Amino acid sequence: MSQRLSQARQSTVHPGACVLEVRDPTFDTYDVEMAIWHAGTIVPTERLVEKKPLLSFDLLPRQETVMTSVDTQFEDVLSGSPGDLGPFYRQAREESPIFWSEAAEGWIVSRYSDVKSVLADRESFGPLLEGKGTTSIYGRVILHMDGIEHRRKDAFIAKHIRNRKLLSGSQEHYIRTLCKELVDELPLGDPIDLKSGFTTPMPLIVTAWIMDMEEATGFRTTYDRMVAASSSNQSGDPDILRDGLEAIEELHELITPRLMERRSEPGEDYISTLCKGEYEGAPISDTEILSSSMFLLAAGAETTDRALANLLRILISEPELWIELQTNRDLLLPALAEGLRFCPPVHAINRATKKDASIGNQEIPAGSKVLLLLAAANRDPEMFDEPDRFSLDRFSENAEAQFSANNTVLSFSHDTHFCTGSLLAKLEMTEGMNLLLDTYNRIKWTEDPPEEEGYILRGVRSLPVKLQTN
């Protein structure tokens, strides 16, 4: 395992914001609108119903924060810039819970009830089959399947990462041993990056082990390039896409020999399961096996890494929470669930309309892209009390449910497309957090706490800390 360890080891105010006083030509009154001067055009963002006496027409610069249109702001959100997205999500839910985004080329949905209803409506909504994200890099994977095909092929994955016998047996033992080895290599008292030293290598090594491809742990930067060109490349940047496609070719060269071996001599690993698998009487193609294998390597590493790192950012910044978890481990699983709600690794997922459909009062034409803001739904006050506050005991009564299809937190999606790897992620985060809590009485920042960044996958680049045992 030592070799694998060595292989495996980051409310803007627009300058032109203004208040626009608009004359009413019928009455000697005017409406007040919040607006922004954008590319030579006045873009109104909020109309107040109140009428006031006529004043002169003017553009009045404002120095404090102003409300801009959610569509305009969403362009910045998609860019992945760092900072707290809570204020934007709140504004979107309140002002434009369903809006069209030119930047995303689709409809944006932010309220909990609407997001959940779309995820549960299998007749009207399905996977997005084309777009700037995952399909352009991985090809057709489980995310792009629906109905019977999705259920049957998802079962191939579930056999390896949602098998309760394996989770409570060999996988639990392996993950616990791995976490101990990773922690033993972390120096005490010296500045380190806890992300590169722990949260990143741990799920990557586990996923490679499950696939019986331990050599894959040496391709971490390749996965980063692949992820950057898929879900993170919402602008469709051609240079990023080109680099991602080159990364895909590198992984093809890594996986293809193993695929050929398993075709002739299958074992019990994930690739062997796909090699032995059939759908509608035909074997799973080499192309699909390659795509599925690359996707599992990336997804298995990225989401758990970000989820654990995002939670640690909260706990390190609030030492009293760390102490409370040390003294009361019954709160650990609720803390993991709350972390998924408060600072999820995946902020949004794509769907598409199969036919003309409606979300709330908004009619959506067939063939439209719909982007569901999971992170905004997770902060909806209609569903969660004090949603912008991190609470250790919020899910003390139903933490286990958040890792199943009975979830209220939507970070693992919902219904048919609920994340197959949720139980494995829970095991990895539980073992990782228990060992850190057992080993270190205090973790202190050595720099300013990092900010989350990125979209659709969002998280911190690093965790610069010092580890202390007393």
Q: Are residues 315 and 414 in the same domain?
A: yes
Q: Does 282 reside within a domain? A: yes
Confidence label for 415 from pLDDT (cuts 50, 70 and 90): confident
User: Higher pLDDT residue, 451 or 30?
Assistant: 451
- pLDDT tens, residue by residue, 294-345: 888 888 888 999 999 999 999 999 999 999 999 999 999 999 999 999 999 9
pLDDT of residue 34: 34
Same domain, 108 and 184: yes
Residue 130 lies in a domain: yes
Which of 45, 67, 89 marks a domain boundary?
Answer: 67
Q: What is the pLDDT of residues 162-190, one digit of tens each?
A: 888 999 899 999 999 999 999 999 999 99
The verdict on residue 4 lying in a domain is no
**pTM of the full structure:** 0.83
pLDDT for 365 equals: 96
Of residues 47 and 234, which shows the higher confidence score?
A: 234
% of the chain surpassing 70 pLDDT? 82
What pLDDT does 1 receive?
60
Q: Do 360 and 241 reside in the same domain of the chain?
A: yes
Tell me, yes or no, whether 42 and 122 share the same domain.
no
Same domain for 39 and 107? no
Q: Which of 48-62, 104-118, 159-173, 418-432 has the lowest mean pLDDT?
A: 48-62
Instruction: Using pLDDT thresholds of 50, 70 and 90, give the confidence band for residue 133.
Output: low
Average pLDDT, the chain: 83
Residue 224 shares a structural domain with residue 317: yes
Nearest-5° Cα angle at 249, 198 to 282: 100
Is 267 a domain residue?
A: yes
pLDDT-derived band at 458, boundaries 50, 70, 90:
very high
pLDDT at 58: 34
Judge if 234 and 366 occupy the same domain: yes
- Average pLDDT rounded to a whole number, residues 259-285: 91
Q: Are residues 298 and 364 in the same domain?
A: yes
Residues 124 and 252 in one domain: yes
Quick check: 14 pLDDT over 70? no
Domain shared by 198 and 247, yes or no: yes
Is residue 260 included in any domain, yes or no?
Answer: yes
pLDDT: which is higher, 1 or 279: 279
CATH number at 436 reads: 1.10.630.10
Domain membership flag for residue 162: yes
Q: Which domain holds residue 57?
A: 17-67
pLDDT tens-digit series, residues 114-127: 999 999 999 999 98
The total domain count for the chain is 2
Same domain for 283 and 213?
A: yes
- Residue 382 forms part of a structural domain: yes
309 located within any domain: yes
Instruction: State the SS3 of the chain.
Output: CHHHHHHHCCCCCCCCEEEEEEECCCCCEEEEEEEEEECCEEEEEEECCCCEECCCCCEEECCCCCCCCHHHHHHHHHCCCCCCCHHHHHHHHHHCCEEEECCCCEEEECCHHHHHHHHHCCCCEECCCCCCCCHHHHCCCHHHCCHHHHHHHHHHHHHHHCCHHHHCCHHHHHHHHHHHHHHHCCCCCCCEEHHHHHHCHHHHHHHHHHCCCHHHHHHHHHHHHHHHHCCCCCCCCHHHHHHHHHHHHHHHHHHHHHHHHHHHCCCCCHHHHHHHCEECCEECCHHHHHHHHHHHHHHHHHHHHHHHHHHHHHHHHCHHHHHHHHHCHHHHHHHHHHHHHHCCCECEEEEEECCCEEECCEEECCCCEEEEEHHHHCCCCCCCCCCCCCCCCCCCCCCHHHHCCCCCCCCCCCHHHCCCCHHHHHHHHHHHHHHHHHHCCEEEECCCCCCCECCCECECCCCEEEEECC
Query: In degrees rounded to 5, what are phi and psi of residue 42?
Result: -80, 120
**Predicted pLDDT of residue 201:** 95
Looking at residue 387, its pLDDT comes to 97
Domain match, 169 and 24 both: no
Higher pLDDT, 150 or 423: 423
Which one of 67, 97, 125 terminates a domain? Answer: 67
